[in-house]
Structure 1
Amino acid sequence: MENKFRLKKKEDFNFIYRYGKSTANHQFVVYYKHNSNHHFRLGISVSKKIGNAVVRNRMRRVIKEIVRHHTDKIAPNYDFIIIVRKPAVHMDYHQMEKSILHVLRKASILKKK
């Protein structure tokens, strides 16, 4: 995923947590806030409760790949953070993809068809 699509700074994360909205399903939580950029930015948060570093990094890589494949479906002008919950660890790629798209649709971040 390109650099321009990433949220990196702690201040950005805190701003979205404080002033953004959230929605969730059993596997993921999404905090989101409208921004003034011409593209979306993604941040991923995986707690140490999820597993060791190998597990956490795998979750980050898979989520980034899912978002990369669906970049054209995601509405511009949004900053959002995906937080991984424990049940997501036991999902395969396709289940995770379906769950992420579901929570993004719930948050109205996906473009209308």
Structure 2
Amino acid sequence: MEKTYRLAKREDFNKVYRYGKSMANHQFVLYYLAQPKLEQFRLGISVSKKVGNAVVRNRLRRMIKEIIRLNKDRMTDHYDYILIARKPAADMDYAQMEKSIFHVIRKASLNKRNELIKK
């Protein structure tokens, strides 16, 4: 994932947690906050130690980044996102994970296709 799409600073994470909204399913929690000044979206990923060891956590992070990288045209711009992986996500394959991530994004009404339907 390119650097411009990353949410990396602690204060940015705290701002999204404090002022943003959240939506969840069994595998993921999505926090999101509108950022009208941004050209595109930014994504932060959080995987707790409860999910597994470092190998499992890094594998999850890499898979999530790749899913978002390949589907960034489906993400609504001008938002900061934080995607938190829960324990059941560790047992998922790529296709299941992709479906689950976009389920939580659709649930939050942040899918670009939903945005086009509203207009």
CA RMSD, Structure 1 to Structure 2 (Å): 0.7
Identity %: 65
Q: State the Cα distance separating 1:84 from its structure 2 match.
A: 0.3
**TM-score, normalised by the number of residues in structure 1:** 0.98
Q: Which residue is 2:57 aligned to?
A: 56
**TM-score, normalised by the number of residues in structure 2:** 0.93
Distance, in Å, in 1 between the alignment partners of 2:12 and 2:86 is 21
Q: Which residue is 1:105 aligned to?
A: 106
Gaps of 5+ in 2: none
Distance, in Å, in 1 between the alignment partners of 2:48 and 2:110 is 23
Gaps of 5+ in 1: none
Distance, in Å, in 1 between the alignment partners of 2:88 and 2:42 is 25
Q: Which residue is 1:75 aligned to?
A: 76
Q: State the Cα distance separating 1:108 from its structure 2 match.
A: 1.7
Distance, in Å, in 1 between the alignment partners of 2:106 and 2:89 is 18
Distance, in Å, in 2 between the alignment partners of 1:64 and 1:108 is 20
Counterpart check, 1:19 vs 2:19 = yes
Distance, in Å, in 1 between the alignment partners of 2:109 and 2:6 is 19
Q: State the Cα distance separating 1:107 from its structure 2 match.
A: 1.2
The size of the alignment, in residue pairs, is 113
Helix, strand or coil at the partner of 1:38: coil
Distance, in Å, in 1 between the alignment partners of 2:77 and 2:89 is 26
Extract structure 1 runs of 4+ deviating beyond 4 A.
none
- 8 Å contact from structure 1 (residues 78, 109) kept in 2: no
Distance, in Å, in 2 between the alignment partners of 1:106 and 1:39 is 20
Q: State the Cα distance separating 1:28 from its structure 2 match.
A: 0.1
Q: Which residue is 2:85 aligned to?
A: 84
Q: Which residue is 1:5 aligned to?
A: 5
Counterpart AA for 2:78: N
